[in-house]
Structure 1
Amino acid sequence: MRPVKVENKQLIEGLFKVFREKGYEGASLNELAEKAGLKKASLYHRFPEGKKQIGMAVLLHSSEWLHTNLYQLLADKNIAATERLEMALSRISELYNQGKETCILRSLSMESGMQIFGEEIKGEMNRWIKYFAQLGLDFGFTEEEALKKGKESLVKVQGSLIVANAMSDTDIFVSSLAEIRELFDK
């Protein structure tokens, strides 16, 4: 067996970038292979089921990042709720490059991507809501209020990314993060 020339992290980051920029339908296997640093045959060797398997690998990578860098933080009761919120907002800003990057969930939910990845996307959005709702409970809100805040935080981030991108104005995203902070201000 030949040694792997492209490490998994580099591979996934390249694939992630193409899907983020082009969406599922717009991403060609040639572009995916090029950004991954592989020849098309090598890409198929790593992902024999093709583009759907590649998309699932990218979603799994995104889910793992969110779990490790956001959800675990939001659930960590050893850190004060206000500090967790600030750290979470900072990490969200980092993830989306201060509003310059598109969300992979949005990119993969366009056109036929939703038919293919809909359950995974819905599951990730529900996890986001769950962890932000838990944070709301830790702030002292009722279950109903906390759930509403969890949903609003998701809508504010996703909506602001779309508008910031369309308007070429990242201040929209930055303002949205400030609004999330205000949501939890009791």
Structure 2
Amino acid sequence: MARLVRERSDIIPILGEVFRAHGYEGASLQVIGAATGLGRGSLYNFFPGGKEEMAAAVLADIDRWFRDEIFRPLEVAAASAAPYLVRTAIHEMAAAAAGYFQGGRRICLVGAFALDGVRDRFAAAVAGYFRAWIEALGAALVTFGLSPTVARARAVAAVADIQGALVLARALDDPGVFDMRLKAVVTALTAGWNGVG
């Protein structure tokens, strides 16, 4: 069944799933056309820069979602200087990540691009995604009384653990691994909070 595509924004989620399934190199215009129901001319009408512009648009859409659903709530909680709000934001971060990554069944496309041969082509977007997550989480953890250095180290460990859990869940075909590690991340991040504040 052909999908109804009326504007560029309709195509971006479809493109994201094509890149997840086939990688950047494997996502030929033929594969993209079959998934979107659009011919080359229509694809180039929406994305004059071709596949590279398509991938950049997908990465920008992922970045927007993570900024709205994960990074900004952590930043707001950090700005409040209220540890209980940060604790809540960390739990919400985990819930949002679990939903986005479909409980470990959906790969992180940004992470996949970081490991792929196209990493240099999208280096700014890839690094920006991970830096923003680490910075937002690190700033939130300072609210627990951690030094910025320790808070950043814990944020790096948490993001690395989440990304590693996605890879391991896929490799073992066991989404429970992702759920288990995500819970462990939340516990590790919130364990030092004494409930005051």
Common fold: TM-score over 0.5: yes
Q: Aligned equivalents of 1:40 and 1:63: distance in 2? A: 27
Q: Aligned equivalents of 1:146 and 1:82: distance in 2? A: 14
Q: Aligned equivalents of 1:110 and 1:48: distance in 2? A: 26
Aligned-pair Cα RMSD in Å: 1.6
Gaps of 5+ in 2: 193-197
1:5/1:82 Cα in 2 relative to 1: closer, same or farther (>3 Å)?
Answer: closer
Aligned pair count reads 183
Letter of the structure 2 residue corresponding to residue 23 of structure 1? G
SS at match of 1:140: coil
- TM-score, structure 1 normalization: 0.92
**1:102 is the counterpart of 2:121:** no
Q: Percent same amino acid among aligned pairs?
A: 24
Q: What displacement does 1:5 show?
A: 4.5
SS at match of 2:145: coil
Q: What displacement does 1:101 show?
A: 0.2
Q: What displacement does 1:106 show?
A: 2.1
Query: How do 1:27-176 and structure 2 match up within 5 A?
Result: 27-77=27-77, 78=80, 80-176=85-181
Superposition misfits of 4+ residues, deviation over 4 angstroms: none
**1:21 is the counterpart of 2:21:** yes
- TM-score, structure 2 normalization: 0.87
Letter of the structure 1 residue corresponding to residue 137 of structure 2? F
Indicate if the aligned counterparts of 1:19 and 1:108 stay in contact, CA closer than 8 A.
Answer: no
Indicate if the aligned counterparts of 1:75 and 1:131 stay in contact, CA closer than 8 A.
Answer: yes
Gaps of 5+ in 1: none
